[in-house]
A and B are shown apart, each in its own frame.
Chain A
Amino acid sequence: AQRVTQPEKLLSVFKGAPVELKCNYSYSGSPELFWYVQYSRQRLQLLLRHISRESIKGFTADLNKGETSFHLKKPFAQEEDSAMYYCALRVDNAGNMLTFGGGTRLMVKP
């Protein structure tokens, strides 16, 4: 069965510092990876997906199939980046289902 692991429950950095939220997955087929974000008092929303290969709010993530990782990175963290971040995996299935990691809370201190 597929699995998504986010090893850090909490990541605390200072404003302007680089940030990397780790995500590792296990799946034998062709994965599709996503990062979802939940800001305080807001809905869970899609941040980015690996097939888009885009940068959203300064965040990027590269799928590394060799290391089965999809780490989220931003060179200079901002206070408004403080939120809960979830990595999610979609496998080849008819239900378009997602498997989520446990989440990492990012706190950016002034």
Chain B
Amino acid sequence: NAGVTQTPKFRVLKTGQSMTLLCAQDMNHEYMYWYRQDPGMGLRLIHYSVGEGTTAKGEVPDGYNVSRLKKQNFLLGLESAAPSQTSVYFCASTLGDLVEPQHFGDGTRLSIL
């Protein structure tokens, strides 16, 4: 039982390049989330999903897109990377009730040059 797995762990991109971050969970969780972590700003929610085939915007969605085609996977896409998107990205998941806490992945460190 790996929990929440994020790939890749590190990536360096050039401005304007695109890429997709993958989050996979094996806990049969309904809800999944993508956050970005920046110094002094904590974690800010980018997008989230409350079930397969559904997605919604979080606090800082601009410049990102997501997809939840399968229940266990939540993809975060950057269509045209910008230096302001240099950050550490965390995925999390939870059952969806109000008791289960969010479980986090190890994070993806992304640098945009």
Residues of A close to B59: CB separation below 8 A: 99
**Considering the complex, which residues of chain B in the window 20-78 have a beta carbon less than 8 Å from any beta carbon of chain A?**
31, 33, 35, 40-45, 48, 50, 56, 58-59
Q: Contact between B101 and A49 (Cβ–Cβ < 8 Å)?
A: yes
Is the contact region of chain A dominated by helix, strand, or loop, or is it mixed?
Answer: strand
**A9 CB–B CB distance under 8 Å:** yes
CB distance from B3 to the nearest CB of A (A): 8
Check B31 against A100 for contact (C-beta < 8 Å): no
Residues of A within 8 A of B44 (CB): 100
A30-66 vs B, Cβ < 8 Å mask (1 yes, 0 no): 0010100000000111100100000000000000000
A98 to B43, CA, bound (A): 9
Interface size class of A (residues with CB under 8 A): 20 to 34
**Distance (whole angstroms) from the CB of A52 to the closest CB of chain B:** 10
Report Cα–Cα, A99/B43, bound state, in Å. Answer: 8
Given A97-B33, A97-B48: A44 and B104 within 8 A (CB)? yes
B31 touches A96 (CB 8 A): yes
Q: Contact between B58 and A97 (Cβ–Cβ < 8 Å)?
A: yes
A to B CB contacts below 8 Å, 7 in the list = A6-B42, A43-B107, A44-B90, A44-B104, A96-B96, A97-B33, A100-B43
Q: A44-B43, A86-B42, A95-B50 are in contact. List 8 more A-B contacts (CB 8 A).
A: A9-B40, A34-B101, A43-B4, A46-B101, A96-B96, A96-B98, A100-B42, A102-B40
